[in-house]
Amino acid sequence: AVSKQTSTKMVGGLQDNGGHAFNNNTWQNYYGADGMDTAIDPGNSNIYYGFIQSGGGLYISSSAGSAITGSVNSPAGTSGNWITPLTINRESEIYAGYSSVYRFSGATWTAVSPSFGQDIDVLEIDTGNPDNMYVAINASLRKSTDRGVSFTEISTFSTVIRSIEVNNNDSNIVYVT
């Protein structure tokens, strides 16, 4: 993840090597285990978020990765894919894709969508309109226009979806690989 304010702040996960944060021209390891998906708060580029494997723990740094400020376990009884998708919208709302879409609110996870019956592979939020959210489960692309409360399947592909990106200039254009 790269800060929306400056390209000099980044965070990423490395399997077997934890979460690494870039700030002040230096890479720092700010949490251990298997580092996975990450996010930087668009309203405060000093707040970094990083998942470990299966979304088992969310590690938070409010010092741009200099230290861990807090950590939160996955929702009770929930485990996601090995790389559980984590994303943040322009209003600093954090979402994760387990078998449901969950929103993080300071200390707890709350399910916002019904269960899909299997884990979400990819989760993407439209940067132009945070009400629009996309999930991929295997080859199925689904869209929500109510921040993840309900989803409609909009396309099925011939192979598993690996990434989704919404065009920053035209929300009607969605790229899928």
Query: pLDDT, tens digit, for every residue of 69-103?
Result: 999 999 988 999 999 999 999 999 999 999 999 99
CA 140 to chain centre: 19
Q: What angle do CA 12, 139, 167 make, to 5 degrees?
A: 55
* pLDDT on residue 1: 94
Q: Assess whether pLDDT exceeds 90 at residue 107.
A: no
How far apart, in whole angstroms, are the C-alpha atoms of residue 135 and residue 144? 8
How far apart, in whole angstroms, are the C-alpha atoms of residue 79 and residue 101? 12
pLDDT in tens, 2-61: 999 999 999 999 999 999 999 989 999 999 999 999 999 999 999 999 999 999 999 999
